[in-house]
Amino acid sequence: MHILDVPYSKSKDLIHQNLMGYVEKLALLQEDWDGYGACAIDKSVVDNTVFIFQKIPNALLEIVGEEGILPTPNGTITIEWHKGSNELMLEVGEKFSTYYIQNNSITQKIENQFIITNSEQMNTFKRELKQYFSE
Amino acid sequence: MPIFVPDIFEEGEKLVRIIFSPFHIDKKNPSKITHIAFRSPSGIDEVSVNRLNFTTATFCKNQGQAMNSLAKTFSGLATIRHKFVIDLGAFVRISKQIENPFHADIYYGIVLQKGEPAPAELNLILKNLARLAFFYPDTNPNSADWEGDDVTNC
């Protein structure tokens, strides 16, 4: 069984905890975890992802699920939200993050300098998540 | 008799990407691949593919099986038309190798460093590549021959 395939509970109360646990497991991936020379996931990237998850309500995290979280070969983490015709992909890096929003395959927003500790930017991100992915 | 492989892409050419589990396969829908399948490693701007019009699924499978490791397992082949790659804003260069004259690289014009997130525009390209690619799972991992669906049907 792969290190990331350990089953996790789908209990609604544990969504936050489980997803954060899953993200923390990504820090266990060692150099060359993909067999193509991938970088290990730096703890700062994991911490940044956990920080973002702490800011997001359960209902919006439930949409992501474990399958929406992927480590990338250069040591970042991508997180995807899909609901109906709406899609958001966030990529969390060491120093900054990026994301796009699409609706019906039409790009609604491109953000290439998302600083998660900037409260104004974080509030905008949360507002957009609610706008596109809440009922 | 050696196969002639032209140094320019011909109209209608298809490219094939070797797919490994677990990270290239969509966990929610295992008949799909993830954008990670088309992502370059850190410090490099190239993703290896083969030119399907001149090679065979068995050749690609043998390559994939030879690359199996503790980290990854050959799981199938993904095909995409050369034209679609270009239309999405990516590039393809022919990069013949002595042992593999069918080799080419998809590239994006950007080299990402460790811990640096991809620009959102690049993630859009990668996502659409994964969407447009046809994934053919390997139906018999114990065989050296390709026994899955005909990959030229895409």
Q: Using pLDDT thresholds of 50, 70 and 90, give the confidence band for residue A17.
A: confident
pTM score: 0.92
Query: What residue of A is the nearest CA neighbor of B39?
Result: A73
Mean pLDDT, chain A, whole residue set: 89
Task: Give the one of B39, B42, B123 whose C-beta lies nearest to A89's C-beta.
Answer: B123
Q: Please report the pLDDT score of residue A2 as a whole number.
A: 53
Query: What residue of B is the nearest CA neighbor of A72?
Result: B36
At which residue do the structure tokens 């410090």 appear? B43
Q: If you average pLDDT over residues A120-130, what whole number do you get? A: 97
Handedness of CA B29, B33, B36, B41 (dihedral sign): positive
Q: Residue A71 burial by CB count (10 A; 0-12/13-18/19+): exposed, middle or buried?
A: buried
Q: Please report the pLDDT score of residue A113 as a whole number.
A: 96
Report the distance separating Cα B38 and Cα B64, nearest Å: 15
**Could you give the count of Cα atoms lying within 13 Å of B3 in the half-sphere of its Cβ?**
13
Q: Using pLDDT thresholds of 50, 70 and 90, give the confidence band for residue A18.
A: confident
Residues of chain A contacting B119 with CB distance shorter than 8 Å: 98, 110, 112
Instruction: Using the predicted structure, report yes or no on whether residue B2 has a pLDDT greater than 80.
Output: no
Q: Please report the pLDDT score of residue B58 as a whole number.
A: 98
Over the stretch A34-48, which tens digit does the pLDDT of each residue have? 888 899 999 999 999
Instruction: Using the predicted structure, report yes or no on whether residue A16 has a pLDDT greater than 90.
Output: no
> Are the beta carbons of B114 and B42 closer than 8 angstroms?
yes
Instruction: Using the predicted structure, report yes or no on whether residue A55 has a pLDDT greater than 70.
Output: yes
Q: If you average pLDDT over residues A73-77, what whole number do you get? A: 97
Task: Give the one of B34, B43, B116 whose C-beta lies nearest to A93's C-beta.
Answer: B116
Distances (CA, A) of A115 to A17, A88, B42, B45: 24, 17, 22, 25
Residues of chain B contacting A74 with CB distance shorter than 8 Å: 39, 41-43, 112-116
Q: What percent of chain B has pLDDT over 70?
A: 99
* DSSP code of residue B152: G
Q: In B12-149, which ranges are continuous DSSP H helix? A: 57-66, 82-87, 120-132
A73:B42 CB<8 A = yes
Q: Using pLDDT thresholds of 50, 70 and 90, give the confidence band for residue A8.
A: very low
Q: Which amino acid is at A53?
A: F
Q: Does A63 touch chain B (CB under 8 A)?
A: no
Size of interface A-B (CB pairs under 8 A): 107
Residues of chain B contacting A72 with CB distance shorter than 8 Å: 36, 39, 118
Q: Please report the pLDDT score of residue B40 as a whole number.
A: 95
Distances (CA, A) of A130 to A97, A110, A127, B4: 19, 17, 5, 55
Report the distance separating Cα A121 and Cα A88, nearest Å: 16
Instruction: Using the predicted structure, report yes or no on whether residue B119 has a pLDDT greater than 80.
Output: yes
Instruction: Using the predicted structure, report yes or no on whether residue B1 has a pLDDT greater than 70.
Output: no
Give the minimum alpha-carbon distance from A43 to chain B in angstroms, rounded to a whole number.
10
B67:A35 CB<8 A = yes
Query: What residue of B is the nearest CA neighbor of A113?
Result: B119
A4:B34 CB<8 A = no
Terminal Cα distance for chain A, rounded: 36
Handedness of CA B29, B35, B38, B40 (dihedral sign): negative
Q: Please report the pLDDT score of residue A4 as a whole number.
A: 53
Q: Helix, strand, coil % (nearest 5) of chain B?
A: 25, 25, 50
Collapsing DSSP to helix, strand or coil, B14 comes out as strand
* DSSP code of residue B138: -
Instruction: Kindly state the tokens that stand for A61.
Output: 């995290």
Instruction: Kindly state the tokens that stand for A66.
Output: 């474990």
Q: Please report the pLDDT score of residue A66 as a whole number.
A: 84
Chain B residues with CB within 8 Å of chain A CB = 20, 22-23, 26-28, 34-36, 39-43, 67, 69-72, 112-121, 123-124, 127
A102:B124 CB<8 A = yes
Over the stretch B8-42, which tens digit does the pLDDT of each residue have? 999 999 999 999 999 999 998 999 999 999 999 99
Q: Using pLDDT thresholds of 50, 70 and 90, give the confidence band for residue A6.
A: very low
